[in-house]
Structure 1
Amino acid sequence: MKVLFVVFLIVDSMLFTLASDTKYSIFCHWNTEAYERKKTSFFDSWSINVRLCTHLVFGSVARLDPMGSGALKIINQKFLDNRKEIVNVRRDSCKQIISVGGMKDDAKRFSKMAASMAKRDQFYKSLINFLFKWNCSGVLLDWQNPTSEDRDNFVHLLKELKIILKEYHFLLLVAVSARLGEATPRSYDFPKMAKHADFIILNTYDHQNPYGPKVEYISPLYGNGSRSVERDVRYWVEQSKISKKLILGIPLFAQTFTLENASNTVVGAPSKGPGRQHVYSSRAGFMTFAEFCAETAKWEIKYDKQAQVPYAYKYDQWITFENGRSISAKMHLVKEQRLGGAMVWSIDADDIEGICGESYGLLKVVVSTIGSPNILTTAAPSTDGVGLCPKDGLFRNKWNCQAYYECKYARRTDYECSVGEFFDEELGQCKPSAGVKCNQDFVNWRPGEDGYNSDNLPPNLRVVV
């Protein structure tokens, strides 16, 4: 059986609360369409670990009225019918943001709303009502692909909305296409947008198209032409003049293609179109990371060191995705360019249940790199989900005596003792650390160091970033 690729840099991360002293924001986007997925790809409020996020963004809940009034309309009543999804998440532990837009046909609705004072007024009223009713902390405007004719109206919308939201202490976020091209400066007034918005989410992957004529990386850090996250970020930093307001978007979902020739597997190879849909998410050209990592033994995994991204293929299927190594590289770009943080799109696409190792494995790479250094400990790496819980019971994490986990029905749930306590495996409870024998015998390894490969990993190896 093939060892589970380099998806995890298994990160130093098991504590669940982001300390308030972290200087970066970590936005967790939740695509509530995940309600419609099946089995391990299904995601609801019980799956959320909001303590790994500073902000939680609810997507696919509301959009502009299709009749053109400008008002906010609910599109996912199933989500809102159960108020615990929003109300039970404390605003002081994780700020909650409602996302508006995000679909291709929303661009015309935004354009008409922003150009009309009456329609803007309807939008403001309905938005404020929604934010108060659902105990939210702000709004993300996801206006995809505005035109040059929308440029001034976009700024005017942000200026007015910021004034209104500031009165009620709500946050204003805006998602933009970060890719370079002639349309970018024509569509966005960088300095003015940065002046009015609290945060600008740099969407680095929205230009990828599984229906295109060739296979392409979803979000290459480096590359030629217009496909370079690093170049796009530098441009936005230079133009906006306020790097701390810029948030780097990280895709946690995978994009799939069908190769025209199964023997030609390099990036840029001809494609017939999107890959076949997975049985759980049932969407062509798309897979959650959990869906993919659970079947990696069937795929040939590669890593492009120049672009700093992984990809894989099997038969005529080709997939582009993110793993711990590629996300870690992007997080170092966040720090280098002094951005305000990162947003993961979306947490529902991560390995929530820890099928392939640690729960929320990709999100925790983000946390380990730009989160507070005071919150990170280590979870044991695993190459096969079958071995995570061989029997029921409570077990101490062998990498961290303060952490432990429960195995029940072959599923693992992680916990942690209070500060100053270790988990006593014999008693099955947390006890003062002085009275618990703690043997943390492990070997540290960091990406880039020699000495190990996927064939000779010692059982006590701890991979850190």
Structure 2
Amino acid sequence: MKVLPVIFLLELLLLFANAAEPEYNIFCYWDGQSINRKHRSNFQSWDVNTKLCTHLIYGSSLGLDPAGSGEVKLNRPEEDLDYDQLAQVRRLRNIQLKTIISIGGWKDESKLISKMLSDSKKRDQFYSSLINLLYKTAMQGVQINWKFPAHLGSQPEDQKNFVTFLHELRIILQEHNFLLMVVVSARLDEATLAAYDIPKITKYADFVTLLVHDHQDPYSRRLSYNAPLSGDKIRSVESCVSHWVEHSNSPSKLLLAVPLFAQSYTMDSSNTVVGSPSKGPGRQQQDSLRPGYMTYGEFCKQVSRWEKKFDNIAQVPYAYKGDQWVSYENGRSISAKMHLVKEQRLGGAQVMSLDADDFQGDCGERYSLLRVIVSIIGNPDTLTTQKPTTEGIGLCPQEGLFRNIWDCQQYYECRDAKRIDYECIEGYYFDEKLGECQPASQVECKQDFVTWRPGQKRYSFENLPLNLKIVY
């Protein structure tokens, strides 16, 4: 028997190691403003499912000192709401879940940021106040969310200054073992491309979140998809991801942002095709209270009354009703995006945002969109309901999700011997194998029961069949 050289064996081991499935991160962004929403769209710390995320990012109202000192401060100094919420986030920390604080989204503060970046003393004020904040709130890192360098009130030299800022910030954060994340606008228009030094940003950041969608889009005069997978060279997910992968040469640092909210428009004509005229944002909803915006939890409860379509080129769904038009995500569109994450070997995904999902389970399983992401790039064990330590009785003899034997559109969850009933949206049946609602045409549904109304003479207590469904 021949003995293989040691070097050859090592090469084989490395080959198999590289061929192994990479580990993906799932960053769950929590919009701190969601506490202001009404009714079942109001999101609290106890609504967070820590098992579905690898990292939790809390988006507070932190920004720069309006006086121009460069310090990080609450934009609402008269309120302690954010610090109360941050205390709740701190209690969610565990060994698996890492907690990050997000600073920015600073469209209205571009001039302040530009001045801070160009002044070493103001940058120092930013660094010291940030470190104090991270220790005070017990966060494990920071996400810098500035999507508008080199335009919208800033200066052309901000591209260079932003890199200097990130370089210095990384050195300081590493000394304290804090994580550095950056959110960028990944669109490929000239102004956005000119804003970023892609190789250096990815060099200094631990993770870079690629944002293709934009909350300002509903104010345009054209119906627009939120995050089309393909078909648009400037803002399609495929084009933007490919550009950043090529120029960063660090795909494992890149995260794909996935919008879980629905973006709505008011149509200016009866033409429902994307690109058709729009009057602006859709009507404000009673729970989310923002024009042009709906949480998926809001939208899924009313989607059965909308006309639904799916664009096979862009790989996204859209819907319309009256003069309202909505771009949103569903299981199919998110699956396509997650397969792109795997193809490009990205570092994972960031959901925008956790509170916009159907976290209450009003339309089926709780966090139904996030669960699609977890099922493809996450740990599937987190989706499996653990067996109870004690045996249940009655309608819930064991844990899990089960279809109603009388109605394929309905299903129920058994947890701790308690039953919770759900219903798929119109035109969908519950698929027990997948554990989720699917188009009715794709689900086998046997309705081989016998109906009987009390008082009918056909049956009595002596000859009731086992497959009898009693109706009233």
Q: Of the candidates 101, 126, 133, which is equivalent to residue 104 of structure 2?
A: 101
Q: Secondary structure at the match of 1:188?
A: coil
The match for 1:332 is 339
Structure-to-structure mapping, 1:52-451, within 5 angstroms? 52-75=52-75, 77-81=80-84, 84-147=87-150, 148-206=156-214, 209-261=217-269, 263-377=270-384, 396-398=399-401, 404-405=414-415
Specify the code of the residue in structure 1 equivalent to 2:257.
Answer: G
Change in CA separation of 1:255 and 1:392 when aligned onto 2, cut-off 3 Å: farther
Q: Secondary structure at the match of 2:362?
A: coil
Q: Secondary structure at the match of 1:210?
A: helix
**Distance in 2 between residues matched to 1:212 and 1:442, nearest whole Å:** 42
Deviation at residue 225 of structure 1 after TM alignment = 3.9
**Distance in 2 between residues matched to 1:216 and 1:89, nearest whole Å:** 37
| 1:60-81 deviation per Cα after TM superposition (whole angstroms, max 9, x unaligned) | 3311112211101123631313
**Distance in 2 between residues matched to 1:324 and 1:304, nearest whole Å:** 14
| 1:138-183 deviation per Cα after TM superposition (whole angstroms, max 9, x unaligned) | 0000012110321110000000000000001000000001011222
Tell me if structure 1 keeps the 8 A contact 2:183–2:209: yes
| 1:232-253 deviation per Cα after TM superposition (whole angstroms, max 9, x unaligned) | 1000000011110000000011
Tell me if structure 2 keeps the 8 A contact 1:106–1:143: no
Tell me if structure 1 keeps the 8 A contact 2:282–2:292: yes
Deviation at residue 51 of structure 1 after TM alignment = 1.6
Q: Secondary structure at the match of 1:303?
A: strand
**Distance in 2 between residues matched to 1:378 and 1:294, nearest whole Å:** 25
- Indicate the percent of aligned positions where both proteins have the same amino acid: 50
| 1:256-306 deviation per Cα after TM superposition (whole angstroms, max 9, x unaligned) | 000011x21111110011000000111100000000001111111111011
Gaps of 5+ in 2: 1-20, 151-155, 387-393, 404-412, 423-430, 448-472
**Distance in 2 between residues matched to 1:453 and 1:41, nearest whole Å:** 26
The match for 1:32 is 32
**Distance in 2 between residues matched to 1:173 and 1:337, nearest whole Å:** 20
Tell me if structure 2 keeps the 8 A contact 1:214–1:271: yes
Larger mean Cα displacement after TM superposition, 219-228 or 30-39: 219-228
Deviation at residue 41 of structure 1 after TM alignment = 0.6
Specify the code of the residue in structure 1 equivalent to 2:173.
Answer: L
**Distance in 1 between residues matched to 2:255 and 2:86, nearest whole Å:** 29
Alignment coverage as a number of residue pairs: 395
Tell me if structure 2 keeps the 8 A contact 1:91–1:135: no
Deviation at residue 40 of structure 1 after TM alignment = 1.1
Change in CA separation of 1:445 and 1:253 when aligned onto 2, cut-off 3 Å: closer
Tell me if structure 2 keeps the 8 A contact 1:86–1:135: no
The match for 2:461 is none
Deviation at residue 87 of structure 1 after TM alignment = 2.1
**Distance in 1 between residues matched to 2:110 and 2:143, nearest whole Å:** 14
Return the TM-score normalized by structure 2.
0.78
Gaps of 5+ in 1: 1-20, 380-390, 413-440
Q: Secondary structure at the match of 1:129?
A: helix
Q: Secondary structure at the match of 2:218?
A: coil
Return the TM-score normalized by structure 1.
0.79
Deviation at residue 443 of structure 1 after TM alignment = 5.1
Tell me if structure 2 keeps the 8 A contact 1:158–1:196: yes
RMSD: 2.8
Tell me if structure 1 keeps the 8 A contact 2:102–2:143: yes
Deviation at residue 459 of structure 1 after TM alignment = 4.9
Specify the code of the residue in structure 2 equivalent to 1:58.
Answer: Y
| 1:179-199 deviation per Cα after TM superposition (whole angstroms, max 9, x unaligned) | 112223321111111111000
Tell me if structure 2 keeps the 8 A contact 1:56–1:97: yes
Q: Secondary structure at the match of 2:107?
A: coil
**Distance in 2 between residues matched to 1:397 and 1:410, nearest whole Å:** 11
